[in-house]
């Protein structure tokens, strides 16, 4: 699909947007932000016709790598300490992905930009895909690793431990409170712009050093979607900056988002990398 045809399809999509005149719209999700002066545009011009073939190819690579890991007996060669820590990590990570998918309807209702709504809908599909392939990764570990205990019941026991509470608190930050604070600033502007690099780049590098090449394949496939999500956050951020009344709100929310992401993501991944690996190279 050529870039010109994508642009034409994207323009056509905007014609489908409409505001009902037969009733007064109800604000389902509250926000302190205003968008009266904002320019309404989507930098990436995302359309489903070009999105689905790309994701299909990425899925072929992910599931092909999974098949290769089974045939190559990877699960008996990977460091056991690493996979023991994955029992905890892979029980947590699908929850933020699902919360991110649930966050997109908050933006549909609060960001008055029909052009951007298409990109947010694509992001919602992305997040469901991410959660699915991550849980499938956990299933593969459970079925093929020598000690499946923990992979099979970690979600069931999640509500009973402190790690579950921390993971749930982090994930639910995407869908609670001010809609723009949660779903845009906290999620797309900060978490997906900066902290997914810790989750989906640093973590896979450590996995590969411990003999696990399946987790890097899955997580790099996830990370390759983040550029679109960052674009959604960037476009919303530009809209918010156009109104002077939003500037103090953005300062407040950026401080909150950076600190909350740092104290959860950096602390958690730092612990996994430090204690979950037997690779002690001095030059890394």
Instruction: Name the average pLDDT for the chain.
Output: 86
Which of 46, 175, 15, 51 lies closest to 110 in space, CA to CA?
175
Residue 216: predicted pLDDT: 93
Residue 30 binned pLDDT confidence (cut-offs 50, 70, 90): confident
Tell me the two tokens of residue 165: 């509470």
Residue 56: predicted pLDDT: 92
Does residue 248 surpass a pLDDT of 90? yes
Nearby residues of 281 by Cβ (< 8 Å), 6 or more positions away: 209
Give the range among 2-11, 99-108, 255-264 with minimum mean pLDDT: 2-11
Separation CA 138–CA 61 (nearest Å):
17
Computed on alpha carbons and rounded to an integer, the radius of gyration of the chain in Å comes to: 20
Question: pLDDT tens digits, residue range 106-121?
Answer: 998 888 887 788 888 8
Question: pLDDT tens digits, residue range 207-245?
Answer: 998 989 999 999 999 998 888 898 889 989 989 998 999
* Cβ contact 207:227 at 8 Å: no
Residues of the chain with pLDDT > 70: what percent? 88
Measured between its terminal Cα atoms, the distance across the chain in Å is 41
Calculate the CA 168 to chain-centre distance: 15
* Cβ contact 150:84 at 8 Å: yes
Residue 39 binned pLDDT confidence (cut-offs 50, 70, 90): confident
Q: How far apart, in Å, are the Cα atoms of 195 and each of 117, 159, 199?
A: 24, 25, 7
Q: What is the mean pLDDT of residues 135-140?
A: 92
Higher local confidence (pLDDT), 13 or 55: 55
Q: What angle do CA 203, 103, 170 make, to 5 degrees?
A: 45
Q: What is the mean pLDDT of residues 52-77?
A: 92
Does residue 32 surpass a pLDDT of 60? yes
Residue 222: predicted pLDDT: 92
Q: What is the mean pLDDT of residues 68-83?
A: 90
Does residue 2 surpass a pLDDT of 70? no
Q: What is the mean pLDDT of residues 250-263?
A: 94
CATH superfamily of 46-275: Ribonucleotide Reductase, subunit A (1.10.620.20)
What letters, b where the CB count within 10 A reaches 16 and e where it falls short, cover 222-249? bbebbebbbbbbbbbbebbeeeeebeeb
Question: pLDDT tens digits, residue range 156-193?
Answer: 766 777 777 778 888 899 999 899 999 999 999 999 99
Question: pLDDT tens digits, residue range 190-212?
Answer: 999 999 988 888 899 889 989 89
């Amino acid at each position: 699909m050529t870039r010109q045809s994508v642009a034409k399809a994207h323009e056509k999509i905007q014609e489908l947007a409409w505001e009902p005149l037969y009733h007064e719209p109800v604000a389902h999700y509250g926000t302190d932000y205003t968008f009266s002066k904002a320019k309404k545009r989507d930098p990436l011009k995302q359309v489903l016709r070009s999105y689905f073939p790309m994701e299909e190819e990425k899925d072929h690579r992910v599931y092909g790598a999974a098949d290769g890991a089974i045939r190559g007996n990877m699960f008996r060669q990977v460091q056991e300490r690493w996979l023991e820590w994955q029992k905890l990590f892979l029980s947590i990570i699908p929850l933020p992905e699902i919360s991110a998918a649930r966050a997109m309807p908050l933006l549909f209702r609060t960001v008055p930009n029909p052009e951007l709504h298409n990109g947010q809908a694509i992001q919602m599909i992305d997040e469901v895909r991410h959660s699915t392939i991550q849980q499938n990764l956990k299933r593969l570990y459970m079925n093929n690793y020598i000690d499946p205990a923990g992979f099979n019941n970690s979600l069931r026991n999640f509500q009973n431990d402190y790690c579950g509470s921390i993971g749930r608190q982090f994930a639910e930050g995407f869908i609670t409170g001010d809609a723009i604070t949660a779903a845009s600033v906290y999620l797309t502007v900060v978490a997906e712009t900066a902290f997914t690099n810790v989750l989906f780049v640093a973590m896979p590098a450590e996995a590969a050093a411990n003999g696990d090449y399946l987790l890097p394949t899955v997580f790099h496939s996830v990370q390759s979607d983040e550029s679109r999500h960052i674009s959604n956050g960037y476009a919303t951020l530009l809209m918010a900056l156009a109104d002077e009344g939003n500037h103090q709100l953005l300062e407040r929310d950026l401080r909150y988002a950076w600190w909350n992401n740092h104290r959860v993501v950096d602390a958690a991944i730092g612990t996994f990398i430090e204690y979950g690996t037997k690779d002690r190279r001095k030059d890394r």
